[in-house]
């Protein structure tokens, strides 16, 4: 591949950043705000433990979009890198990104498990799906991931004006364990397992003697959660795969052509990844508002 082709890849990546990144950011921030408003405005949702997880998830998703995607757009689209000019922002951005992603994935898992419990036939399992438990679990998860993010303040530094991890051991941990395992593989497995179990429970819910509003609430919330699980899987796996290659040190020993190819692939998949925090379930929430407004 010639240098002209490499330049073409960079130009294409810049155009994708501007014409895909900005709409994703705008739609995502607005959509998550709509989610929060809808879930807080109806008493039906305020009494739902699953809605608690989805509200927190919407809040941290906006945090991820503002600190992660907005900075990415400024860097790749307009050549403005705030992480180069401010050591504080270099550290803060990475702390915020990893913390928000972790909280979001945790809430997704908790919401899926909650819907499984809420739709179980056994009342012993159903009692674990309540708003008090949801408040405690979300508070605990936020505290844990905030504490977990502290090392990012220490190990992200500016090296020749590039914001990067300066500790090799922490770099391996951040890639192999935190990003790949805790933020990708493990949440995906948990969500798929409990999502399928919740779907199986929903198939039998019509035959149970429960109030119509509660039955429809469980059906729709389970549908929202299942759609989000599938969407997260499709949008996250490509990015994580490319991310592993682009961050390992042995990539730096490759020729420039391969490096630019992987950088281009990373640019393409990163916006797919941000879709999981942007598009999510806002359309479903608006529909849900209209659908349940008559019952509230």
Does the pLDDT value for residue 217 go beyond 80?
Answer: no
pLDDT of residue 225: 74
- Give burial (CB, 10 Å; 0-12/13-18/19+) of 182: middle
What residue numbers bound the domain in which 164 lies? 3-282
Evaluate whether residue 291 is within a structural domain. Answer: no
In a domain, 235, yes or no: yes
User: Phi/psi of residue 81, each to 5°?
Assistant: -115, 100
**Higher pLDDT, residue 291 or 79:** 79
Question: What confidence category does residue 212 fall into, taking pLDDT thresholds of 50, 70 and 90?
Answer: very low
Of the chain, the percentage scoring pLDDT greater than 70 comes to 80
246 falls within a domain: yes
On whether residue 253 sits in a domain, the answer given is: yes
128 vs 261, residue with greater confidence: 128
For 181-190, write each residue's pLDDT tens digit. Answer: 888 889 988 9
pLDDT in the model for residue 254:
53
Residue 209 predicted with pLDDT over 70: no
Q: Is residue 117 a part of any domain in this protein?
A: yes
Q: Is 287 part of a structural domain of the chain?
A: no
End-to-end CA distance of the chain: 62
d(C-alpha 235, C-alpha 220), whole Å:
22
Contact 58, 21 (CB under 8 A): no
CATH of the domain at 149: 1.20.1070.10
Q: What is the pLDDT of residue 58?
A: 92
Residue 213 lies in a domain: yes
Gap between the Cα atoms of 61 and 169, Å rounded: 28
- Whole-model pTM: value is 0.85
Give a yes or no: residue 293 inside a domain.
no
Looking at the structure of the chain, the number of domains it has is: 1
Measured CA angle at 101 (ends 191, 110), to 5 deg? 35
| Chain mean pLDDT for the chain | 81
């Amino acid at each position: 591949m010639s240098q002209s082709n490499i330049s073409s890849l960079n130009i294409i990546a810049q155009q994708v950043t501007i014409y895909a990144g900005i709409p994703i950011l705008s739609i995502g921030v607005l959509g998550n705000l709509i989610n929060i408003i809808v879930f807080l405005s109806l008493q039906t949702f305020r009494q739902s433990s699953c809605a608690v997880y989805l509200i927190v998830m919407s809040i941290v998703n906006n945090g991820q979009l503002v600190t992660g995607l907005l900075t990415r757009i400024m860097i790749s689209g307009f050549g403005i890198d705030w992480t180069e000019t401010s050591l504080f922002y270099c550290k803060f951005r990475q702390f915020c990104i990893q913390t928000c992603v972790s909280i979001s994935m945790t809430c997704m898992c908790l919401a899926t498990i909650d819907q499984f419990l809420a739709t179980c036939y056994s009342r012993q399992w159903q009692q674990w799906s309540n708003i008090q438990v949801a408040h405690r679990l979300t508070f605990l998860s936020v505290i844990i991931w905030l504490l977990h993010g502290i090392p990012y303040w220490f190990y992200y530094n500016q090296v020749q004006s590039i914001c990067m991890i300066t500790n090799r051991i922490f770099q391996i941990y951040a890639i192999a364990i935190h990003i790949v395992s805790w933020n990708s593989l493990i949440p995906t497995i948990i969500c798929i397992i409990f999502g399928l179990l919740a779907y199986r429970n929903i198939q039998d819910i019509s035959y149970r003697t429960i109030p119509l509003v509660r039955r429809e609430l469980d059906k729709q919330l389970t549908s929202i959660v299942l759609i989000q699980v599938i969407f997260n899987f499709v949008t996250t796996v490509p990015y994580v795969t490319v991310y592993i290659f682009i961050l390992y040190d042995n990539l730096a020993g490759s020729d420039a052509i391969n490096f630019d190819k992987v950088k281009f692939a990373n640019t393409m998949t990163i916006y797919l990844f941000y879709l999981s925090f942007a598009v999510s379930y806002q359309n479903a929430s608006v529909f849900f508002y209209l659908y349940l407004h008559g019952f509230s």
